[in-house]
Amino acid sequence: VLMASVHAVPLDKEDLSVAEVLRERALESSDAYSLVESLTVEVGPRRAGTEGDKRAVAWAQQKMKKLGFDRVYTEQIDVKRWARGHAHAEVTAPYPQPLVVSSLGYGAATPKGGLTAEIVEFADVEALINAPEKKIKGKIAFINKRMERARTGEGYGPAVQGRSRGMRAAAEKGAAALLLRSVGTDSDRFAHTGMMSIDGVENPVPALALSAPDANLLEAMLERGKPVEVKLDVENQRLADGPSFNVVGEVVGREKPEEVVLIGAHLDSWDEGTGALDDGAGVAIVMETARLISELPQRPRRTLRVVLFGAEEIGLVGARQYVDAHKDDLDKIIMVSESDFGAGKVWRFDTRIPESKFAIADQMMQLLAPLGIERGNNESSGGPDSSVFVANGVPAMGLYQDGTDYFDYHHTPNDTLDKVDPENLKQNVAAWVVMSFLAAEMEGDFGRVPAEH
Amino acid sequence: VLMASVHAVPLDKEDLSVAEVLRERALESSDAYSLVESLTVEVGPRRAGTEGDKRAVAWAQQKMKKLGFDRVYTEQIDVKRWARGHAHAEVTAPYPQPLVVSSLGYGAATPKGGLTAEIVEFADVEALINAPEKKIKGKIAFINKRMERARTGEGYGPAVQGRSRGMRAAAEKGAAALLLRSVGTDSDRFAHTGMMSIDGVENPVPALALSAPDANLLEAMLERGKPVEVKLDVENQRLADGPSFNVVGEVVGREKPEEVVLIGAHLDSWDEGTGALDDGAGVAIVMETARLISELPQRPRRTLRVVLFGAEEIGLVGARQYVDAHKDDLDKIIMVSESDFGAGKVWRFDTRIPESKFAIADQMMQLLAPLGIERGNNESSGGPDSSVFVANGVPAMGLYQDGTDYFDYHHTPNDTLDKVDPENLKQNVAAWVVMSFLAAEMEGDFGRVPAEH
Ligand SMILES: [Zn+2]
Ligand SMILES: [Zn+2]
Ligand SMILES: [Zn+2]
Ligand SMILES: [Zn+2]
């Protein structure tokens, strides 16, 4: 239940007209595609704390300046660093053949020369957690849970448990390593990497995602009834902590510059693809949104702040440190939103605002509906990084993209520019300019929302 | 123009009824899928001359015996051998990032520690051949030709020129290496390997296929106008020649056992996928075809010979050596056909028979048409390996599969079992039993066709 608040001040008709003009301009001439093209070609992989990350930070500042933002600056954050080495896996018995794998983020190495052990299959991480230690000790745990495809991406939550909690569970049972069926919806021979929960794991073991066809292979071998033995040879290394940056660009408000509409995306990516969908598209969408608004004859009433968060992929690190650093200014952020779900069309408009302000969302919907967008719920987190703000009472909005194919590419080498449809980005920017401009321009605000527990 | 011959003896009505029964059985209960599943799971990659190849040969013999073939035997062939080592590529300037590549078959290694050079783009291999030496000497030739998608796969011929002839052209111009946009129709981050023409190349240079997204990357970097520098680090090794095998299984004819209908597929595969489409599906289709025919109350009049050719991928080696070894018996082979175009549905029935025998093909069509198959042309090669027989006057038939998606997976790590639809295989086997049974059972034969030049 959300707080009651003062009654909503309706959006001004003139502001709605300006938003409509912006929407049409976005559909006709917005060019977020060039931004994601530039980022993927000129920077490419940009995992937090790597050289690519540094280049991305430089790219973002340079680009924002060129686009005409009023202020461009960075805020340093501290990140845990890790070097990915090779990861080889092969079945050694009974049917020798190589497997396609990828180390999960911050995973351990094998001993030099590798390790060989029998695999033991588990339906999901719960089954592993509940298994007797003697079943798994010294062996390789194989979590074989499939992810369901959905426009909302709702299959991700259940499936990602194996990735976030599997290595810890395997290590605690004395397993030699973890093999995980990739958290993804494709059937291509790509492993999906991603973050694990590693804090406090005493003896981390190597943890590898298997591509779906490779998980199928192991499954089929196990069905034949003989023990299946796998050799792993993995070289990874934890490095000393280091700096990364949130990159911030502002279109400064003409009347209430201290009040902020914060729209974000994350600048970092995983290191095997070029991060076109995750989250190059989001970076491009919010940058292009601000550019279009900055080209109006006058600045909106409030400041529109674009934050390209660092180190989202390794635990919302940039967002958490941003919120910590700006604890005292959070009440100046009247709304937060993030684009981080690929490059599909926006199909739903969610909010997290007091019910008393629903009339404003309804007015926004008048301009969003022609884009094929329906009104969703009031439980939006605003996106992964935004959720940290929402947890601190900041109202949020969410322009939900069609994620049907998102997890075909997510965190794989196959997350590349060719998966981005320029027309879809235009529709995204059209929705974003409507929401962002109206929030920055409107008379009233959204108050606060109850912090999430 | 094909030779005139005696008038065709029409197919017997009773034989046509048997063929129809076989067709229906194939649609209902044929299980080629289990065979390709077994081959991909229990053997996997099986490039000619490797351990996997040996296991495939053992697998095929064992399987044929189990399926109840009357005779199962192997015929040794000699193959050139090669060991694939790692292949790393990265752009070093102006936009450092890694590239996904794969060594083309029998490609050379780089010097230890790799080589770094500027890339020079060519629209196709002809452009490279026509370029002045000073443009390319010491640099890396980048052939950037796209392949067109087609149901017939007809885009392959033009595109594959770069792969077969590119390295030779690059080496002759003094290039440091060859980078080739993959011969494929997908936009996934897989490089497509495959054979090059290497005979007589004096100073072979490293030759690598780039995935389509990586070729796009280089293209986009070059468009920005600065020199693009790439580092290659490749470890490959030519090995001494060694043995491989054609594996043969026969359903021996009841009346004219010395006359043969030869149906084939190739047992070898490239080494990065499990060879499900190329050519596990074909292996399964022809084996299951023979099995169904062997379950009839009596053997057909002639021998049905299933030949699983070795070393097709490295130059039709098994087929060439088969034809050489059986030069004197080729006139006993009344028809040859091969399944080697993936696992799509058959949509066209081609032949290469004397015109005087078209009536027989027309009768076969009566039973094929209900499977959604149309009559094609009389220029069939019968398939890659079959073409060597046709070149020696053996008549051929071809059941053309829908190859729309074939080159999405061809010669990549992504050629795996999940790409095979069991229902499509049933339709294939239904067509194959009709053609194979009638050819083995029919009263007359097809005579000879003019040898190809
Ligand atoms: Zn993301
Ligand atoms: Zn991500
Ligand atoms: Zn083939
Ligand atoms: Zn092939």
B7-21 residue pLDDT tens? 778 999 999 999 999
- Tell me, in angstroms, the distance from the centre of ligand 2 to residue A281's CA: 12
Minimum Cα–Cα distance from A214: chain B residue = B416
Is B312 considered catalytic here?
yes
Give the integer Cα–Cα distance in Å for B89 and B299.
56
CA separation (Å) from B177 to A388, B56, B117, B121, B235? 50, 33, 9, 12, 13
Please, is A31 exposed, middle or buried when counting C-beta atoms within 10 Å of its C-beta (0-12, 13-18, 19+)?
A: middle
Q: Are A400 and A376 in contact (CB under 8 A)?
A: yes
Q: Are A265 and A283 in contact (CB under 8 A)?
A: yes
- Tell me, in angstroms, the distance from the centre of ligand 2 to residue B81's CA: 42
Please, is A158 exposed, middle or buried when counting C-beta atoms within 10 Å of its C-beta (0-12, 13-18, 19+)?
A: middle
- Say what the pLDDT of residue B9 is: 86
E strand or H helix at B180, and its extent? strand B177-181
Report the 10 Å Cβ neighbour count for A175: 29
Instruction: Tell me which chain A residues have a C-beta less than 8 angstroms from the C-beta of B213.
Output: 274, 414, 416-418
Give the integer Cα–Cα distance in Å for A347 and A165.
32
Give the integer Cα–Cα distance in Å for B316 and A171.
50
Contacts (Cβ under 8 Å, ≥6 apart) of B336: B262, B263, B264, B382, B386, B389, B390, B394, B395, B396
pLDDT of residue B169 exceeding 80, the answer is yes
Mean of the pLDDT values across residues B354-360? 96
Minimum Cα–Cα distance from A86: chain B residue = B86
Mean of the pLDDT values across residues B148-169? 98
Eight-class DSSP state of B312 = G
Instruction: Tell me which chain A residues have a C-beta less than 8 angstroms from the C-beta of B51.
Output: 96
- Tell me, in angstroms, the distance from the centre of ligand 4 to residue B270's CA: 7
Architecture of the domain whose range is A81-238: 3-Layer(bba) Sandwich (3.50)
Q: Are B100 and B211 in contact (CB under 8 A)?
A: yes
Which parts of B83-155 fold into alpha helices (H)? Answer: 125-130, 133-136
- Say what the pLDDT of residue A8 is: 79
CA angle A246, A247, A252 (to 5 degrees): 125
Of the candidates B41, B189, B414, the beta carbon closest to that of A217 is on B41
Mean of the pLDDT values across residues B189-217? 97
What are residue B178's DSSP bridge partners?
A: B141, B207
- Say what the pLDDT of residue B4 is: 47
Please list the pLDDT of chain A residue by residue as tens digits (453 residues).
444 456 778 999 999 999 999 999 999 999 999 999 999 999 999 999 999 999 999 999 999 999 999 999 999 999 999 999 999 999 999 999 999 999 999 999 999 999 999 999 999 999 999 999 999 999 999 999 999 999 999 999 999 999 999 999 999 999 999 999 999 999 999 999 999 999 999 999 999 999 999 999 999 999 999 999 999 999 999 999 999 999 999 999 999 999 999 999 999 999 999 999 999 999 999 999 999 999 999 999 999 999 999 999 999 999 999 999 999 999 999 999 999 999 999 999 999 999 999 999 999 999 999 999 999 999 999 999 999 999 999 999 999 999 999 999 999 999 999 999 999 999 999 999 999 999 999 999 999 999 864
Give the integer Cα–Cα distance in Å for B206 and B111.
10
At residue A270, the 3 state secondary structure works out as coil
- Say what the pLDDT of residue B8 is: 79
- Say what the pLDDT of residue B452 is: 64
Give the integer Cα–Cα distance in Å for A59 and A363.
37
Minimum Cα–Cα distance from B272: chain A residue = A98
E strand or H helix at B80, and its extent? strand B71-93
- Say what the pLDDT of residue A452 is: 64
Q: Do A189 and B189 touch (CB under 8 A)?
A: no
Q: Are A424 and A345 in contact (CB under 8 A)?
A: yes
pLDDT of residue B242 exceeding 50, the answer is yes
Please, is A93 exposed, middle or buried when counting C-beta atoms within 10 Å of its C-beta (0-12, 13-18, 19+)?
A: middle
Give the integer Cα–Cα distance in Å for B232 and B115.
5
Residue count of chain B: 453
- Say what the pLDDT of residue B68 is: 96
Q: Are B308 and B60 in contact (CB under 8 A)?
A: yes
Please, is B270 exposed, middle or buried when counting C-beta atoms within 10 Å of its C-beta (0-12, 13-18, 19+)?
A: buried
Mean of the pLDDT values across residues B352-381? 97
Q: Token digits for B261?
A: 């209908």
CATH code matching the domain that covers B84-238, chosen among 3.40.640.10, 3.30.465.10, 3.50.30.30, 3.40.980.20: 3.50.30.30
Average pLDDT, chain B: 97
Q: Is the C-alpha dihedral spanning A273, B195, B150, B180 positive or negative?
A: positive
- Tell me, in angstroms, the distance from the centre of ligand 1 to residue A316's CA: 10
CA separation (Å) from B221 to A108, A420, B17? 35, 18, 63
Average pLDDT, chain A: 97
A275: left (phi over 0), alpha (psi -120 to 50) or beta: left
Mean of the pLDDT values across residues B429-444? 97
Q: Where in chain B is the domain with CATH 3.40.630.10?
A: 13-70+252-441
Report the 10 Å Cβ neighbour count for A1: 6
CA separation (Å) from A30 to A197, A224, A292, A424, A431? 39, 56, 8, 11, 12
Report the 10 Å Cβ neighbour count for B152: 15
Q: Do A213 and B98 touch (CB under 8 A)?
A: no
At residue A223, the 3 state secondary structure works out as helix
Q: Which of A250, A272, A312, A441 is flagged as catalytic?
A: A312
Per cent of chain B over pLDDT 70 is 98
Give the integer Cα–Cα distance in Å for B22 and B433.
6
At residue B293, the 3 state secondary structure works out as helix
Q: Where in chain B is the domain with CATH 3.50.30.30?
A: 84-238
Per cent of chain B over pLDDT 90 is 97
CA distance A320 to chain B (A): 29
Of the candidates B51, B188, B217, the beta carbon closest to that of A41 is on B217
- Domain topology for A13-70+252-441: Aminopeptidase (3.40.630)
Q: Are B122 and B158 in contact (CB under 8 A)?
A: no
CA distance B51 to chain A (A): 9
Of the candidates B40, B42, B97, the beta carbon closest to that of A44 is on B97
